[in-house]
Structure 1
Amino acid sequence: MSRKYYMRSFLIAAVLIIASSFYYLPYYVAKPGMAQELEPIINVEGGDDASGSFMLTTVRMGRANIYSYMAAKMSKYQELYPENAIKSENESDEEYNVRQLHMMDDSKNNAIKVAYEKAGKPISFQYLGVYVLNTLKGMPAYGELKPGDQITRVDELKIESAKQFMDYVGSKNPGDKITLKFKRDSKTKQTTLPLKNFDRDKKRAGIGISLDDHEKPITEPAVKVNTEQIGGPSAGLMFTLEIFNQLTDGDTTKGYQIAGTGTMSESGEVGPIGGIKQKIVAADNSGAQIFFAPNEKGNKQSNYRQALATAEDIETDMKIVPVDTVDDALNYLETLKEIR
């Protein structure tokens, strides 16, 4: 066969391989991410430095093509998730990203609240408005409002809670119009929308948005948490520990490299997260000595149990510590001898 034939066959194969890499399957692949020090991310005014580190752990998540799908099938610490396990029904990529970023905001707010209360420092919250998570196709808000918009006023009513907004709109009838003031990219905008029935029974009317409250913490001393495009609520526990450490005298880390994961409630309870196996691998790769994992009150399938099994499997020396509350983590840290 001629050299020209081989060259043509090679080019065709190359084009097919490249093209197939852009064909996505209805799955997401989760891989070990990294453990990132929180001290450069979080800054409490007047806070002191630590000799050790608190670290958040991440999972690399992406759409699966045929090659990443096969790689995940053959890898022990990559996992495949059906698309409907990651995204809500009919949720766009933009809406998914906005939802993840909003969950991160909630996680930061809870962490700040718990840390300041534990440290005995003053904190309050300024209400910013109703946060638009997504819009429903075929409803009046679709194309007029976008995920991430912040509704501050409906007609002449200043919004002070999502419930207040829903109660006000719920008191109207289909066909009535409401005028909304909202912020988008720091600019104030206004739109007037008719109300439309939500369901076949025609018992509910609205504009077709999913929403949540949006608040900003007011603290003394001031705190800044720069998470940029990190999404999701799973760093709540580690945020709380880092903020508390900067707020209080002494070094809570005792010189150790401490990673972990878990959501944080307003009352200081630690909740479970996804991707615990990948986070254990990420923390071990980053040299963490201690890892806090949600205990889920001793559930046999808890994050802690999965973390412990993964740690044993990869033969790490990292200590896996179960926690149900932020107090569990703080109490454990108090028992450590300081590294000198």
Structure 2
Amino acid sequence: MKKKRNKAYLKALAVGVALAILGTFIQLPYYVTKPGMATELAPIIDVENGFKDEGEFMLTTIRMGQANIFSYGLAKLQKYHEILPINHVRRDNESDEEYTIRQLFYMEDSQESAITVAYQHANKPVTVKNHGIYIMGIVEGMPAEKELKAGDRIFEVDGKPIEEHTEFMEYVAGKKENEVIKISVERNGEEKTVSVPLSPFPNNPDKIGIGIELITDIEVVTDPKIEIDTKKIGGPSAGLMFTLEIYNQLTEKDLTHGLRIAGTGTINIDGQVGPIGGIGQKIIAANNSDVDIFFAPNENGAADSDYRQALETAKDIKSDMKIVPVDTFEDALHYLENLDKNK
């Protein structure tokens, strides 16, 4: 009898282990997001001979991964875990590699805008140069799929140097179906030239092209020099906080006042701050890191703005962080320059 019970137990255990393995490795068509962390920017950003902070400027992140059975079930039980359909995160037919490349490009673009805005406000020299165009994605079923990859940098078309994505689009617009163009690209440090025919887009037969999504490759040249090491952090949401850290290193007055200051929001070349996703999760990340002040996109006072959602989350978790609404970099700068008055 005892042997039978042992066999039954072992069988049940084996079944349980097998189900656990399946539950871990079978991916569902969803992503799960949850609070990440707040990361100090001073170790990431280095302006040559820049001034030091007494406090910290910090970026906030969320953690995200494709759901399996267990993470999906856990997210259902956690208030600040969010479940997103896969098509809300990745584009149609976008591979993991293409998604990662797109996020890294967004981060690079965010850095370039942040550098430009910060240097201009600090009255430091900054110039922008174009160096061809990057391929952000490939349209499935189009001719580019056979020859090109996301991440390729195009620098010539039919022997003609290309500096902006609009130049490429205008050049292709003058071609006809089945015409072949020669595209010179740089991939992983090596240059190659490929021939690609033009064809109609599957979902828009009146439009002719090769099936690539493009972005202009920009180099920002500064004095003093700057280095930013974000490794594999992707996305544009740290733009505002990058700008504040860079500006603070460029100017003698310390805007941190010895405090821990976090926030989120995109930044464009004009210094405007845009909304992001996962604001509630970022408030939790900041609160867990004892942040004193948090900047949130105000979206010009919209009722459902990131700022309003940030206030609700802070109240819900009983955080004593000061949540500050901003529409522009200058809003954040003005608040910090007058911090003693704002207390």
User: What's the TM-score bracket when you normalise by the shorter of the two chains?
Assistant: over 0.9
- What residue number does 1:300 align with? 303
Counterpart position of 1:218: 221
Alignment match, 2:289: 286
Cα distance change on mapping 1:35 and 1:140 into 2, 3 Å:
same
TM-score normalised by structure 2 residue count: 0.96
The answer for the alignment partner of 1:318 in structure 2 is 321
Within 2, Cα distance between the matches of 1:278 and 1:199?
A: 39
Unaligned runs of 5+ in 1: none
SS in 2 for 1:40: coil
Given candidates 261, 266, 273, the residue that maps to 1:263 is 266
CA contact (8 A) 2:93 2:140 kept: no
Equivalent of 2:135 in 132, 135, 139: 132
Structure 1 position 208, deviation (Å): 1.0
Q: How many Å separate the matches in 2 of 1:292 and 1:214?
A: 29
Q: Distance in 1 between matches of 2:147 and 2:28?
A: 31
Q: Which of 114, 120, 125 is matched with 1:122 structurally? A: 125
Number of positions where the alignment pairs a residue of Structure 1 with one of Structure 2 = 338
The question of 1:60 aligning with 2:63 is answered: yes
**Which stretch has the larger CA shift, 198-207 or 23-32?**
198-207
- Report how far residue 68 of structure 1 moved: 1.0
Aligned residue runs from structure 1 range 197-212, under 5 A: 197-199=200-202, 202-212=205-215
Q: Please give the secondary structure, in 2, of the residue aligned with 1:151.
A: strand
Alignment equivalent of 1:112, drawn from 88, 102, 115: 115
Letter in 2 for 1:219: T
Q: How far apart are residue 7 of structure 1 and its match?
A: 1.0
| Cα deviation, residue 205, structure 1 | 2.1
Aligned equivalent of 1:100? 103
Hey, what's the Cα distance between the residues in 1 that align with 2:139 and 2:46?
Answer: 38
CA contact (8 A) 1:116 1:123 kept: yes
Q: Which amino acid aligns with 1:233?
A: P
Contact kept, 8 Å, 1:32 with 1:59, in 2: the verdict is: yes
Whole-Å separation in 1 of the counterparts to 2:100 and 2:24: 23
The corresponding residue for 2:75 is 72
1:36 and 1:160 map into 2 onto residues whose CA distance is 35
Q: Say whether the 8 Å CA contact 1:254–1:337 is kept in structure 2.
A: no
Pair 1:302–1:202, CA change in 2 (3 A): closer
Say yes or no: does 1:31 pair with 2:34: yes
State the partner residue of 2:151: 148
Range with greater deviation from structure 2 (235-244 or 128-137): 128-137
Q: Distance in 2 between matches of 1:75 and 1:86?
A: 20
Task: Rate the CA distance shift 1:201–1:27 in 2: closer, same or farther, 3 A.
Answer: closer
Taking the aligned partners of 2:255 and 2:210, their CA distance within structure 1 comes to 49
| Aligned equivalent of 1:240 | 243
Q: Is the CA contact 2:287–2:321 (under 8 Å) kept in the aligned structure 1?
A: yes
Give the drift of 1:126.
1.9
Cα displacement string for residues 261-296 of structure 1 (whole angstroms, at most 9, x for unaligned residues)? 000011111100000000000001011110000011
Q: Which residue of 1 aligns with 2:196?
A: 193
Taking the aligned partners of 2:203 and 2:267, their CA distance within structure 1 comes to 39
Q: Alignment RMSD, CA only?
A: 1.4
Please report how far the alpha carbon of residue 185 of structure 1 lies from its aligned counterpart in structure 2 after TM superposition: 1.2
Asked if 2 retains the 8 angstrom alpha-carbon contact of 1:57 and 1:283, the reply is yes
For residues 94 and 202 of structure 1, the distance between their equivalents in structure 2, rounded to whole angstroms, comes to 28
CA spacing shift, 1:307–1:200, aligned 2, 3 Å: closer
The 3-state SS of whatever aligns with 1:143 is: helix
Q: Which amino acid aligns with 1:330?
A: L
TM-superposed CA distance for 1:337, in Å, is 3.6
Instruction: Output one character per residue of 1:191-234: Cα deviation in whole Å (capped at 9) or x when no partner.
Output: 11122222577533221111111111011111111111111100
Of 7, 15, 34 in structure 2, the residue corresponding to residue 4 of structure 1 is 7
> Which secondary structure state, in structure 2, belongs to the residue aligned with residue 216 of structure 1?
strand
Residue of structure 2 aligned with 1:176, choices 167, 174, 179 = 179
Tell me how far apart the structure 1 counterparts of residues 231 and 217 of structure 2 sit (CA, whole Å): 17
29-38 vs 127-136, which deviates more?
127-136
Please list every run of 5 or more consecutive structure 2 residues that lacks an aligned counterpart in the other structure: none
Q: Calculate percent identity across the aligned residue pairs.
A: 52
Q: CA deviation at 1:5?
A: 2.4
3-state SS in 1 of match to 2:184:
strand
Please give the TM-score of this superposition, normalised by the length of structure 1: 0.97
Residues 41-97 of structure 1, C-alpha deviations (whole Å, 9 max, x = no match):
001111021100000000001111111111111111111111111111221111111
Q: Find runs of 4+ consecutive structure 1 residues off by over 3 angstroms.
A: 199-203
* CA distance in 2 between partners of 1:299 and 1:156 (Å): 49
Deviates more, 1:194-203 or 1:299-308: 194-203
Given that 1:292 and 1:329 are in contact with CA atoms closer than 8 Å, whether structure 2 keeps it comes out as yes
| Contact 1:195 1:207 survives alignment (8 Å) | yes
Give the aligned residue type for 1:256.
Answer: L
